[in-house]
């Protein structure tokens, strides 16, 4: 069985979580063993960091360092072992989110992010990066409306990052777009502004094209 590493990206409320389980089911139906995980998080240490980074006041450099520290632990403790076992790893967010949120959103310069990515993703067994990234793209205002609906429905409250102003998410979206333009072989744009069914059909089309039976 060949291993795969696939990430799901987009601004908060874009609809990643709505489709990730169906993608997992699609791979499982083909006989893959799927490891579903997320960032920040995915290991006990990284989940602890997630709790802190989404709740505690901190400056932008502290935030980005915690994101990449958690990522390193996640890679070494969970992603690499799963890939070594031939699993299909589906990860809700990865490094593109750091370029979007800490880069685009907070203004951390790209060279610094590249250095941190190099520290986190370079391991004795090689460079760890998704082979495919599904980028759920939609305008920041539409995402905010969806988040508000979700909060009302689920009785959730927005976390420290979700409470950022609209322009933060507009900058994050632009940064995702730059990443997609710079990595056309890896990042597939999904028009997430459409209905759930229309979004799923786009996701399915990418899967069928990239992973023919």
Ligand X SMILES: Nc1ncnc2c1ncn2[C@@H]1O[C@H](COP(=O)(O)OP(=O)(O)OP(=O)(O)O)[C@@H](O)[C@H]1O
Q: Considering the complex, what minimum distance in angstroms separates the CB of residue 10 from ligand X?
A: 5
C-alpha 92, offset from chain centre: 4
Nearer to ligand X, 5 or 101 (CB): 101
Structure tokens at 86: 């031939």
Q: Would you count residue 97 as binding ligand LXEULUCI (CB under 6 A)?
A: yes
Task: Please give the residues from 66 up to 85 whose contact with ligand LXEULUCI meets the rule CB under 6 A.
Answer: 67
Q: What is the DSSP string of 143-210?
A: HHHHHHHHHHHHT----TTTTS-HHHHHHHHHHHHHHHHH-TTTEEEEETTS-HHHHHHHHHHHHHHH
Residue of 4, 38, 87, 171 interacting with ligand LXEULUCI (CB under 6 A)? 38
Tell me how far apart the alpha carbons of residues 211 and 68 are, in angstroms, rounded to a whole number.
Answer: 30
Out of 3, 5, 7, 12, the residue judged to bind ligand X by CB under 6 A = 12
Q: Does 157 bind ligand X (CB under 6 A)?
A: no
Give, as ranges, the residues between 121 and 150 that touch ligand X (CB under 6 A): 146, 149-150
Q: How far apart are CA 164 and CA 131, in angstroms?
A: 30
Give me 29's structure tokens: 């139906």
Q: Could you tell me if 100 and 175 are in contact, meaning their C-beta atoms sit under 8 angstroms apart?
A: yes
Q: Is residue 199 a contact residue for ligand X (CB under 6 A)?
A: yes
Between the alpha carbon of residue 203 and those of residues 22, 93, 190, the distances in Å are 10, 16, 7
Partner interacting with residue 14 (select from ligand LXEULUCI, ligand X, none; CB below 5-8 Å by kind): ligand X
Shortest separation between residue 144's beta carbon and ligand X, angstroms: 10
Instruction: Verify binding: residue 35, ligand X, rule CB under 6 A.
Output: no
Q: Does 39 bind ligand LXEULUCI (CB under 6 A)?
A: yes
Q: Give Cα 157 to chain centroid, integer Å.
A: 21
Rule CB under 6 A: choose which of 3, 12, 35, 42 binds ligand LXEULUCI: 12
Q: Which residues sit in the known binding site?
A: 10-17
| Residues engaged in binding ligand X (CB under 6 A) | 10, 12-18, 146, 149-150, 195-196, 199
């Amino acid at each position: 069985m060949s291993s795969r590493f696939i990430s799901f990206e987009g601004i908060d409320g874009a609809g990643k979580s709505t489709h990730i389980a169906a993608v997992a089911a699609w791979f499982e139906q083909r006989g893959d063993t799927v490891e579903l995980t997320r960032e920040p998080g995915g290991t006990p240490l990284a989940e602890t960091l997630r709790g802190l980074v989404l709740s505690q006041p901190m400056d932008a450099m502290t935030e980005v360092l915690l994101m990449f520290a958690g990522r390193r632990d996640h890679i070494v403790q969970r992603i690499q072992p799963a890939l070594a076992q031939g699993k299909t790893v589906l990860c809700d967010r990865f490094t593109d989110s750091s370029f979007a949120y800490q880069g685009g959103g907070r203004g951390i310069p790209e060279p610094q992010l590249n250095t941190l990515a190099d520290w986190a993703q370079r391991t004795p067994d090689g460079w760890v990066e998704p082979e495919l990234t599904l980028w759920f793209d939609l305008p920041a205002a539409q995402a905010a409306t969806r988040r508000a609906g979700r909060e009302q429905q689920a009785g959730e409250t927005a976390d420290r990052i979700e409470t950022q102003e609209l322009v933060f998410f507009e900058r994050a979206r632009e940064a995702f777009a730059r990443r997609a333009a710079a990595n056309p072989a890896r990042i597939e744009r999904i028009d997430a502004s459409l209905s759930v069914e229309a979004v799923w059909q786009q996701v399915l089309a990418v899967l069928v094209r990239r992973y023919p039976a």
